Amino acid sequence: MKRFFYVILTLSTFFIFAAPASLRAVNEISIVLLGDYLPAASAAPVIRRKGYSYTFGGVRDALQESDLIFLNLETPLSNRGTPYEEKKYVFRADPEAAQAMRSAGVRIVSLANNHIMDYGPDALDDTLKSLRSAGIAHVGAGRTLNEASMPAAFRIRNINTAFLAFSNTFPREFWAGKESPGTFFGSDWTVKKAVRAASGTGPLIVSFHWGEELARQPKEYQIYLARLAIDSGADLVVGHHPHVPQPIEIYRGRPILYSLGNFSFGSYSSNATEGLMVKAFIGADGTPTKLEIYPLLVDNEKVAFKPRLLSGPEGRAVFDSITEAIPESAARISWEGDRGVIELNIHGPSPN
C-alpha cells in the first residue's frame, strides 16, 4: 500500500498538461485512449530515418487537447536481454522511444501484454527505468506480482483517476509470480479483488489484453470479464490485442471498448488497416459522459507507421460498424465530420 501512495505523490506532478479550461467543463476530465503501439520490427528502418516522434505525427493535433494519453506499449524498451525461444515473433525497441512518447503527450502505458517479456527480466527492468526517466507511468507488469498488480493513480484538476491493466494472453511464462517478473493475469478473482481495491475515489479505467488476433467480435470470456470489472467498480474498460476494432458496448452506463485495434504497429498487414483513437470524457464522480471516436487509418502500406485520421464515408463506416448494437436508451450516437460521438445516458442504471 505504501508504494501505491508513492505513485500518487510522485507521478501526479507530471500529469497536469491539460487543455485550456475554457475548452472543457471544470468538473470533467478527458482521457485519450490509443491502441497497440509497437515502434519496432518492420517499423525499425523508417524510425531510424525519421525518429520515434514520427509515429505520432499524423494525429498530434488531435492529441493536444486532453488531460491524459494512454496506450498499450507492445514491446520492451531495451538494448539488453535474451529473446524468448518459444515464440516466433519477439520485439524490442530502443529506450529513447520513451522520451518520444512523453513528447507526444503519453503519460501512462499498459505493459500487460504478450510481448513485454520477449527479451526477459533485464529488458523489462530497462523498460521500467526508461518510462520512469521520461515521467511516464505504467500498469500491468512489474518485477513481482505485487508490483504488476499495482494501480497507477493521478490527480487531475482535483479529480482522482486510476488505471489498472491485466493480460489474458499467452505464454503463461510471461505472467508474474509472487517473486518473479511479468504481467498481471486477469482471473475472475484477481479482476474482482484489484478493481474493488482501486475503485471508489474517482474514475477508474481498466485495460485488458485479450481476445483473438484479427477477430471482429469479442469472445465470451472478454464480455464476462469486462462486465465483472464494471460490476466491481470500473468506470471504463478498454481492450487491446486483436489488432482490429471490435464493437463498443454500454453496460450499466459504462463503456466497454473491447478492442481499439492498432495504433502505430510495426508490421505490414492487409488484415489490420483501421484502428480507433478514443477521447473519453469523465466526470469527477467517475461517470463517463461522452466518447469521441476517431477512426484511424493504420495500413502501413499507405501510412508507413504514421497513423492518420480516417474521416468522411470511410471513417463513418468504421464508426457505424462498432456502434450499431448500442441501444438508443444507452446513448445518443452521431457522426460529426471527422469523428463519431457517443453521448452516454448518465441517468441510466449505475453499476454501484
Task: Over range 276-303, report the average pLDDT.
Answer: 96
Q: Output the pLDDT for position 285.
A: 85
Q: Looking at the domain assignment, is residue 341 inside a domain?
A: no
Query: 176: pLDDT confidence band, cut at 50, 70 and 90?
Result: very high
Q: Output the pLDDT for position 12.
A: 35
Q: Output the pLDDT for position 201.
A: 82
Q: Looking at the domain assignment, is residue 244 inside a domain?
A: yes
- Measured CA to CA, the distance from residue 276 to residue 294 in angstroms comes to 6
Q: Looking at the domain assignment, is residue 202 inside a domain?
A: yes
Question: And the C-alpha cell for 52?
Answer: 520515434
| Contact predicate 178/213, CB 8 Å | no
Mean pLDDT of the chain: 92
SS3 (DSSP) at 236 = strand
Range of the domain at 107: 2-23+32-278+295-332
Phi, psi for 222 (deg, rounded to 5): -65, -45
Q: Output the pLDDT for position 26.
A: 64
pLDDT at 117 over 60: yes
Q: Output the pLDDT for position 311.
A: 87
Task: Over range 315-340, report the average pLDDT.
Answer: 96
Q: Output the pLDDT for position 352.
A: 54
Domain count, the chain: 1
Residue-wise DSSP of 106-175: EEEEE--SSSTTTTHHHHHHHHHHHHHHHT-EEESEESSHHHHT--EEEEETTEEEEEEEEE--S-GGGB
Q: Looking at the domain assignment, is residue 343 inside a domain?
A: no
Q: Output the pLDDT for position 13.
A: 34
Residue appearing with cell numbers 507530471? 14
Q: Output the pLDDT for position 337.
A: 83
| Contact predicate 41/187, CB 8 Å | no
Radius of gyration of the chain (CA): 18
Q: Looking at the domain assignment, is residue 339 inside a domain?
A: no
Task: Over range 270-292, report the average pLDDT.
Answer: 95
Q: Residue 205 maps to which CATH number?
A: 3.60.21.10
Query: 3: pLDDT confidence band, cut at 50, 70 and 90?
Result: very low
Q: Looking at the domain assignment, is residue 149 inside a domain?
A: yes
Q: Output the pLDDT for position 187.
A: 98
Report the relative pairing of strands 274-283 and 288-297 from DSSP bridges: antiparallel
Q: Output the pLDDT for position 348.
A: 54
Task: Over range 44-52, report the average pLDDT.
Answer: 98
Query: 64: pLDDT confidence band, cut at 50, 70 and 90?
Result: confident
- Judge residue 216's burial from the number of C-beta atoms within 10 Å of its C-beta, 0-12 exposed, 13-18 middle, 19 or more buried: middle
Q: Looking at the domain assignment, is residue 349 inside a domain?
A: no
Tens digits of residue pLDDT in 118-132 = 999 999 999 999 999
CA atoms within 13 A on the CB side of 4: 13
Q: Looking at the domain assignment, is residue 165 inside a domain?
A: yes
Question: And the C-alpha cell for 64?
Answer: 493536444
Q: Which of 106, 286, 139, 119 minimizes the C-alpha distance to 202?
A: 286
Q: Which residues contact 103 (CB under 8 A, 6 or more apart)?
A: 53
Q: Output the pLDDT for position 20.
A: 43
